[in-house]
Amino acid sequence: METQKFCQSCAMPLVNPEDFGTESCGGKSEDYCRYCYENGAFRKEESMDEMIETCIPFAIEAGEYKTADEARAAMREFFPKMKRWAAA
């Protein structure tokens, strides 16, 4: 059984081929989603805290968390372990 992949910038589940971002050579990124990464670069330069605030509404809509405070606390624990933010 294959483990679930998540974007290493925003934690979006990477399920379908169209979910993946692209490298500068045109191939798919193995680490980042299409919303975060395109043509080998991040689509938007932002801090981890800015990314968390961007992701909160999507996480609540997906049913992952009930409140913004709950989502924010969980993301502040998880995001520093992801590839993009661990290097920051």
**H or E element: which one contains 71?**
helix 68-78
pLDDT in tens, the chain (88 residues): 568 899 999 999 999 999 999 999 999 999 999 999 999 999 999 999 999 999 999 999 999 999 999 999 999 999 999 999 997 6
Q: Domain locations in the chain?
A: 5-86
Query: E strands within the chain?
Result: 5-6, 13-14, 20-22, 28-33, 37-38, 41-42
